[in-house]
Amino acid sequence: MTGKHHRRAAANQATIRDVNEGIERGQWPGEGDTPVGFRCECARLGCNRLIELSVHEYEEIRANPRRFVLIPGHEFPDIEAVIETRPGYIIVEKRDAAEVAEEHDRRG
Ligand SMILES: [Zn+2]
């Protein structure tokens, strides 16, 4: 990927995370263990695949802000490392989130 693509990908992932946080907040108390359709948080522009996991699982993953939940095979090994493979999805961790965020700030 080029630097331009990295910046667009970072912005795209931030948007998807907002969507998923809305999904998470929309669940009723007590539904924490019910599978919910979260958006794939990969860096592929236009990806709108859904991943089924419970709110509890999602909260556990995003307790670390550098971790994202993806469809298997949607990771970009040059910017993120696969931490864990689970049935139906994988967990990745950004290699250097600080640098990506800096580039995002300089945009425009
Ligand atoms: Zn994806």
- Tens digit of each residue's pLDDT (9 = 90 or more) over 39-81: 999 988 889 999 999 999 999 999 998 999 999 999 999 999 9
d(CA 40, CA 51): 6
d(CA 54, CA 76): 25
Alpha carbon 29 to its chain centroid, in Å, reads 23
d(CA 30, CA 48): 27
State the pLDDT at residue 7.
Answer: 81
Tokens 């967990």 locate to 91
DSSP tag of 40: P
State the pLDDT at residue 102.
Answer: 65
45 C-alpha to center of ligand 1: Å? Answer: 8
75 C-alpha to center of ligand 1: Å? Answer: 8
Q: Tell me the pTM.
A: 0.74
3 C-alpha to center of ligand 1: Å? Answer: 20
- Tens digit of each residue's pLDDT (9 = 90 or more) over 25-44: 887 777 778 889 999 999 88
74 C-alpha to center of ligand 1: Å? Answer: 5
73 C-alpha to center of ligand 1: Å? Answer: 8
64 C-alpha to center of ligand 1: Å? Answer: 19
State the pLDDT at residue 93.
Answer: 94
**What backbone torsions phi and psi does residue 74 show, to the nearest 5 degrees?**
-90, 0
Task: Indicate the Cα dihedral angle 36, 38, 27, 34, nearest 10°.
Answer: 20
